[in-house]
């Protein structure tokens, strides 16, 4: 409980609107977790997994129409449309309150409203921020318990302040036609209704830590980014930190938990995970950029996660984990496509139906996920809870591109790096509803998450660059180039370490590079491919810039940039320079 008058008044107002039968104030205790878990198991909302093999693990299925973020139903609601820019859906603020208010009216009758206080960021950090989420879903409470620092710890942090993000979530009827994820950055408010899935309802994550936080960052002089944070330790036990922005389901969790190829592991190289999805970035007193992971857990993509691709993720979710929309095996454990070769002969699929491999359907939903505590991760960084975070040496942008983008290149400088991020493109994935595999521009991997006008966002990046005396160097990577048979050429996963080493060598002034029209490209002999199954010519191909595809690329970038009425002139100039470099 809290005596905070602002919280109490707001909870009362929201309860007046939604009319729950009762209100439960979440404290974050073990006893509370057990009580709520038991209740969810008794109603069938959650299913208990094999407690010998997966202690503390439970299972949940969402409705078939509710399995991913819904970008077309996600809105930024402000007074003026121009504040949200060309990439966001806009709704007039009062119109949105009225529309959703009508949907919320009485929607919690017969249900319980849970009041979840939580902190985004370490409890010891002055940069951390408090949110309160009201929800009628135990699933949400149990997930928020893993994903954030939740419970009384947050009331203690907030004290009597009115400075908290007000989140209201109601499952209502999970009606996709009335599903809305609305953000009111002018009012520090988030309203979500008619979904029970992940990013739509765990309001601390994308809604607060990215959309609202990006707006706050603009006003307060910091940045909220869709980035992993990792520490790379060398044999001398020196650790340098890298952040990377890849769009949803494009490899952040995997890179953040990378296990180096055997040879490097033996030499003493190691990767430490600070975060796998979101970074809050500030300029430190030392003139460097510092990164904090505001989250406390991982909401990771299950399919493709295996002991081969990402052992650290698999080991993290062996206890105290919530599995959503994966496949349930007869022994009460879970399975998903790409987990191992032991495809179950029969199982229950993510829809709850009997499943056999012969059926040819997916056993796990392609965007099925695990929610696991970060502290269970075998490679969690000892800086995970550091109030100041970690200093960033390199920043990486990247996406899924079957063609065009080379394996890695370095931007000429910060301003050029901002242009590289602003023109980033990637194939869409199952993390959002809609077509999969379609190339779209996704600036800084923030297209679905920037809470304001993206023209202003680009300007904010440029302005931040001026405030950082020792800015990180900016790179672009692409693990996903394919060959004529549509197979990935680069081995990826642990072998991505080979590219990270080149990146750090560049930052540390240890290696030369080739100045190409689009940025600095590695001399192929500077990327170690010993122990991989690719040869030198293949590597050369991966680093090549195909003029025909870049002609197309530049044309498409032009169309993309033309959308921004508020495009900073520096970005336009960088574009023109690259175009000229390419002889176009």
d(CA 327, CA 348): 6
- Indicate which single residue of 155, 452, 493, 564 sits in contact with ligand GTP (rule: CB under 6 A): 493
- Choose among 400, 486, 387, 492: nearest CA to 126: 387
Q: Which residue is nearest to ligand SPV (CB)?
A: 199
Query: Under 8 Å CB-to-CB from 15, ≥6 apart: which residues?
Result: 23, 108, 113
Residue 73 within binding range of ligand SPV, rule CB under 6 A: no
Q: How far is the CB of 277 from Mn ion (least distance, A)?
A: 4
Selected range binding Mn ion among 65-73, 243-251, 328-336, 485-493, rule: CB under 5 A: 243-251
The answer to whether residue 273 forms part of the interface with ligand GTP (CB under 6 A) is no
Binding-residue total with ligand GTP (CB under 6 A): 22
Q: What, of Mn ion, ligand GTP, ligand SPV, none, does residue 205 touch, CB below 5 to 8 Å by kind? A: ligand SPV
**How is the chain split among helix, strand and coil, in percent rounded to 5?**
35, 25, 40
Phi, psi (deg, nearest 5) at residue 261? -55, 150
The size of the chain, in residues, is: 584
Task: Report residue 404 as tokens.
Answer: 């065009």
Asked if 366 interacts with ligand SPV (CB under 6 A), we say: no
* The binder of Mn ion chosen from 66, 71, 277, 295 (CB under 5 A): 277
Q: Rounded to the nearest whole angstrom, what is the least distance from the CB of residue 324 to ligand GTP in the complex?
A: 12
Q: How far is the CB of 426 from ligand SPV (least distance, A)?
A: 12
Nearer of residues 273 and 333 to Mn ion, judged by Cβ: 273
Contact partner at residue 276 from ligand SPV, Mn ion, ligand GTP, none, CB < 5 to 8 Å by partner kind: ligand GTP
Among candidate residues 107, 182, 250, 450, the one labeled active-site is 250
Which segments within 325-450 are labelled E, that is strand? 327-328, 334-335, 347-348, 354-355, 369-373, 390-398, 408-410, 425-427, 439-441
Taking CB under 6 A as the criterion, the residue among 66, 71, 136, 277 binding ligand GTP is 277
Bridge partner residues of 118 (DSSP): 131, 150
Please tell me the distance from the alpha carbon of residue 498 to that of residue 507, in angstroms, as a whole number: 15
d(CA 413, CA 396): 13
The interface region with Mn ion, picked from 245-253, 397-405, 462-470, 493-501 by CB under 5 A, is 245-253
295 binds Mn ion (CB under 5 A): no
Site for ligand SPV in 236-255 (CB under 6 A): 248
Structural element, H or E, at residue 549: helix 547-562
Q: Does 69 bind ligand SPV (CB under 6 A)?
A: yes
Output 143 or 248, the one with its CB closest to Mn ion: 248
Residue 340, burial from CB neighbour count under 10 angstroms (0-12, 13-18, 19+): exposed
Work out whether 276 is an interface residue with Mn ion (CB under 5 A).
no
Judged by CB, which is closer to Mn ion: 248, or 371?
A: 248
Distance, C-alpha 184 to centroid of its chain = 21
205 contributes a contact to ligand SPV by CB under 6 A: yes
The DSSP bridge partners found for residue 382 are none
Judged by beta carbon, residue 185 or residue 391, the one nearer ligand SPV is: 185
Concatenate the DSSP letters of all residues of 144-209 into one string: HHHHSEESHHHHHHHTT---EEEEEEE-TT--GGG-EEEEEGGGTEEEEES--SHHHH-TIIIIII
Among 507, 491, 502, 559, residue whose Cα is nearest residue 528: 502
Binding to ligand GTP by residue 297, rule CB under 6 A? no
Neighbouring CB atoms inside 10 A of 234's CB total 16
User: How far apart are CB 102 and ligand GTP at their closest, in Å?
Assistant: 32
The residue (of 269 and 480) whose beta carbon lies closer to ligand GTP is 480
The single residue listed with the structure tokens 């990486």 is 396
Cα gap 572→562, rounded to integer Å: 10
As measured in angstroms, the least distance from the Cβ of 247 to ligand GTP is 7
Residue 327: closest CA among 318, 336, 340 = 336
Selected from 299, 409, 414, 575, the binder of ligand SPV by CB under 6 A is: 299
Q: Which residues pair with 324 in a beta bridge?
A: 60, 369
Instruction: Give the HSE-up count for residue 317: Cα atoms under 13 Å, Cβ half-sphere.
Output: 30
188 binds ligand GTP (CB under 6 A): no
Span near ligand SPV by CB under 6 A; candidates 93-101, 197-205, 316-324, 457-465: 197-205
Within 298-317, the residues that bind ligand GTP by CB under 6 A are: 300-301, 303-304, 309
* Closest listed residue to residue 172, CA positions, set 105, 237, 270: 105
Among 131, 151, 251, 389, binds ligand GTP (CB under 6 A): 251
Which of ligand GTP, Mn ion, ligand SPV, none is residue 251 near (CB under 5 to 8 Å by kind)? ligand GTP
Q: Give the footprint of ligand GTP on residues 464-483 (CB under 6 A).
A: 479-480
User: Are 394 and 472 within 8 A, CB to CB?
Assistant: yes
Asked if 250 is an active-site residue, the reply is yes
CB of 193 to ligand GTP, least distance (A): 23
Q: Which of 171, 183, 206, 560 binds ligand SPV (CB under 6 A)?
A: 206
Residues that bind Mn ion (CB under 5 A): 248, 277
Residues that bind ligand GTP (CB under 6 A): 246, 248-254, 276-277, 300-301, 303-304, 309, 431, 479-480, 488, 492-493, 496
Instruction: Please give the positions annotated as active site.
Output: 250
Residues that bind ligand SPV (CB under 6 A): 69, 198-199, 205-206, 248, 277, 299, 431
């Amino acid at each position: 409980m809290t005596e905070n008058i602002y919280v109490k008044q707001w909870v009362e107002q929201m309860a007046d609107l939604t009319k729950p039968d009762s209100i439960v104030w979440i404290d974050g205790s073990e006893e509370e977790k057990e009580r709520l878990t038991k209740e969810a198991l008794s109603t069938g909302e959650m299913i208990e997994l094999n407690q010998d093999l997966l202690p503390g693990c439970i299972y949940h299925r969402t409705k078939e129409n509710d399995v991913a973020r819904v970008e077309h139903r996600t809105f930024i609601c402000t007074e003026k449309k121009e504040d949200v820019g060309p990439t966001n859906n806009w709704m007039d603020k009062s119109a949105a309150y009225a529309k959703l208010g009508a949907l919320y009216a009485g929607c919690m009758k017969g249900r319980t409203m849970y009041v979840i206080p939580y902190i985004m960021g370490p409890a010891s950090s002055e940069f951390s921020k408090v949110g309160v989420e009201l929800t009628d879903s135990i699933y949400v409470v149990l997930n928020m318990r893993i994903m954030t620092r939740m419970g009384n710890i947050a009331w203690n942090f907030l004290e009597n302040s009115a400075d908290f993000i007000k989140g209201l979530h109601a499952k209502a009827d999970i009606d996709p036609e009335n599903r809305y994820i609305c953000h009111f950055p002018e009012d520090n408010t988030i309203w979500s209704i008619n979904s029970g899935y992940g990013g739509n309802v765990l309001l601390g994550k994308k809604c607060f830590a990215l959309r609202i936080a990006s707006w706050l960052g603009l006003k307060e002089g910091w940045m909220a980014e869709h980035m992993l944070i990792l520490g790379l330790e060398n044999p001398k036990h020196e650790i340098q930190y890298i952040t990377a922005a890849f769009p949803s389901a494009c490899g952040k969790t995997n890179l953040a938990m990378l296990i180096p190829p055997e040879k490097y592991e033996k030499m003493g190289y190691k990767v430490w995970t600070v975060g796998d999805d979101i970074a809050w970035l500030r300029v430190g007193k030392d003139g460097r950029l510092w990164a904090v992971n505001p989250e406390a857990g991982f909401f990771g993509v299950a399919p493709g996660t295996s002991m081969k691709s990402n052992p650290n993720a698999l080991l993290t979710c062996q206890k105290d984990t919530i599995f959503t929309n994966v496949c349930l095996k007869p022994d009460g454990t879970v399975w998903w496509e790409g987990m191992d070769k032991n495809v179950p002969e029969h199982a229950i699929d993510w829809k709850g139906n009997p499943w056999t491999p012969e059926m040819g359907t997916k056993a796990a939903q392609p965007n099925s996920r695990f929610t696991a505590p970060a502290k269970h991760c075998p490679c969690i960084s000892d800086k995970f809870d550091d109030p100041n975070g970690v200093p960033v040496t390199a920043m990486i942008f990247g996406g899924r591109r079957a063609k065009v983008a080379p394996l890695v290149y370095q931007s000429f400088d910060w301003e050029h790096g901002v242009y590289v991020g602003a023109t980033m493109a990637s194939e869409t994935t199952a993390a959002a509803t809609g077509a999969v595999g379609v190339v779209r521009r996704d600036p800084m991997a923030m297209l679905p998450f920037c809470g304001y006008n993206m023209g202003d966002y680009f300007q904010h990046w440029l302005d931040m660059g001026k405030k950082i005396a020792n800015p990180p160097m900016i790179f672009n990577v692409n693990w996903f180039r394919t060959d004529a048979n549509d197979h990935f050429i680069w081995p990826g996963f642990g072998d991505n370490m080979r590219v990270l080493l080149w990146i750090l060598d560049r930052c540390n002034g240890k290696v030369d590079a080739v100045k190409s029209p689009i940025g600095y490209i590695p001399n192929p002999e500077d990327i170690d491919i010993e122990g991989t199954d690719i040869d030198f010519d293949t590597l050369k191909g991966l680093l090549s810039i195909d003029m025909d595809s870049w002609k197309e690329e530049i044309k498409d970038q032009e169309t993309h940039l033309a959308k921004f009425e508020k495009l900073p002139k520096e970005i336009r100039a960088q574009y023109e320079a690259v175009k000229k470099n390419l002889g176009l």
